[in-house]
Structure 1
Amino acid sequence: MIPSFIITFRETLEAALIVGVILSYLFKIRQIKYNNIVYVGIGSAIVASIIGAIIFNNLAGGFTGRAEEIFEGVTMLVGAVLLTTMIIWMMKQKQMMVKLEDKVATEIGEAHKFGIFSLVFIAVLREGVETVIFLEAANFVSSGNNLVGALAGIIAAIFVGYLMFVAARRINIKKFFNVTSILLILFAAGLIAHGIHEFEEAGVIPIVIDHVWDINPTLNPDGSYPFFHEKGYCGSILTGLFGYNGDPSLIEVFSYIVYIVIVLILWKNTKIALSPKKN
């Protein structure tokens, strides 16, 4: 029950973070009429993840081994790209919305509508496929404990996501953009690093240095993972949300740092470009 709870909680919370930020953003710019785009993205992804996982498992033997690693790597990198475009867009909107707060709403173009749908769809689809495959592997149909744990994890993650959404709506717009931008940057950096890790596992990318450091605590006497181990209760959540890895490879660390540096430079340049020109 506990493992299924942790897995579904982590997977659902990852998607809830993205969905919560987008819904909060639409609320802030007074465009809640576009919430239906988010809901359609969620519903489409849930249906697609269930159908996709069932078809793949029945026809291709399931996402196992190298195929699973490549699938994970591709979806993580695609998600990071979509998330980055969302971050950059939000950076630009922030400068305008700070000036126009309580005056007018920001209009959303057709391209951005599709971008919102795609981001939500990819985020939920990836977590949905992983969750469906996990539950099938655990044979939850014949195990009430696994089913209860999985459902409890999903409900708990949705509740936490809702609390984040409510909290985000109450803070002023400048703090909202700063906090959510930082969270999304770390989340996207984690996707990049995890995508690289999966490609290394699949042999697509060579491993230069396997472990730059290893701070994972040793296993407990009963063979379970300690609380802060990357596969432990807390560690697994940090891994899913921010790409925490107790023993990363050199390329993982490099990609994580480089991504953050590049996005921070873009953030700074965007702020300078949109700041009022002094005469």
Structure 2
Amino acid sequence: MMLTSLIISFRECFEMLLILVPLLAYLTKIDRKDLSKYIYFGSFIGLLASLVSGVLIFNQVKSLEFAVKDLFEGSIMLFVSALILYSIILIKKQRKEIAKTSFDASAVKITAYSLFILSFLTIFRESLEITLFTLPFLANSAFSIVSGILSGAILAIVVMYLFYRTSLKLSINVIFNTLTILLIAIGAVTFGEGIAELFPSMGQSLEKASMLIYGIPTLYLFIKSLLKEYAKKQNK
């Protein structure tokens, strides 16, 4: 579970940084570093709100009866797998944005309120996604999951630093392509385990079949998209 939480944490934290770091750099460029505090404050409140939401959800899960708990956790797993699928679909768009420096900070209305809201929503949304991704497994693997989340966050910071300080930007697509393949695998496992939670009497055969039903078409669509992009580049 540590590797899974690390991958998910890295991706979500990297997305946060892709928005907030260029914005902070832009404020420095236009000599408005005084507004940076609203980004930091919004980020802190967003993180705090996501942690509170996660604790509330986790406590609700613990208070459920055993049968209802299985139903709830199975439903959460299916929701998470759908969220992963949604993230995979967005990868293509995200790569195009990254090719254009990923975030146009100059397009943001530079006011204290807008900076606070943007940073709050960015941190809250991505942090809550991490919570939902890891919630079904937290009770059994708390230490490995927390370690993975912290490791993923640190790795995202290091990669973002290299992204701006070196020529890594030229190969950023490799990072996102690799992340997509890993997310497909995680999504397939999560979907299979979610189905197994909802139908425990069906055994492992249903779980494995569900993994294949999720993973094979998703991987096919991703590879097809990559081949189309490659063909377009060759024709230019």
- TM over 0.5, shorter chain: yes
User: Is residue 90 from structure 1 mapped to residue 94 from structure 2 by the alignment?
Assistant: yes
**Partner amino acid for 1:175?**
S
How many Å separate the matches in 2 of 1:160 and 1:27?
Answer: 16
- What are the ranges of 5 or more consecutive residues in structure 2 without an aligned counterpart? 28-35
Query: Are the structure 2 counterparts of residues 269 and 93 from structure 1 closer, same or farther at C-alpha, using a change threshold of 3 Å?
Result: farther
How many Å separate the matches in 1 of 2:151 and 2:81?
Answer: 24
How many Å separate the matches in 1 of 2:201 and 2:223?
Answer: 28
Contact residue 42 and residue 121 of structure 1 kept, 8 A: yes
How many Å separate the matches in 2 of 1:92 and 1:115?
Answer: 22
**Partner amino acid for 1:166?**
Y
How many Å separate the matches in 2 of 1:95 and 1:105?
Answer: 15
User: Is residue 181 from structure 1 mapped to residue 176 from structure 2 by the alignment?
Assistant: yes
Contact residue 74 and residue 196 of structure 2 kept, 8 A: yes
CA RMSD in angstroms, aligned pairs only: 4.6
Shift of 1:120: 0.7
Q: Deviations over 1:166-194 (max 9, x none)?
A: 34443432211x12221331233124302
- Share of identical aligned residues, percent? 9
Shift of 1:259: 1.0
Higher RCO, Cα 8 Å, sep 6+: 2
Q: Which has the higher helix share?
A: 2
Equivalent position of 1:31 in the other structure? 23
Query: Are the structure 2 counterparts of residues 127 and 17 from structure 1 closer, same or farther at C-alpha, using a change threshold of 3 Å?
Result: same
Equivalent position of 2:188 in the other structure? 193
1:74 partner SS: helix
How many Å separate the matches in 2 of 1:108 and 1:85?
Answer: 25
Q: Quick check: 125-134 or 33-42, which moved more?
A: 33-42
Alignment map for 1:41-56 (pairs within 5 Å): 41-56=46-61
Q: How many residues are matched?
A: 212
Shift of 1:125: 1.8
Shift of 1:262: 1.0
Provide TM-score, normalisation by structure 1.
Answer: 0.55
How many Å separate the matches in 2 of 1:96 and 1:162?
Answer: 20
Query: Are the structure 2 counterparts of residues 131 and 262 from structure 1 closer, same or farther at C-alpha, using a change threshold of 3 Å?
Result: closer
How many Å separate the matches in 2 of 1:13 and 1:186?
Answer: 15
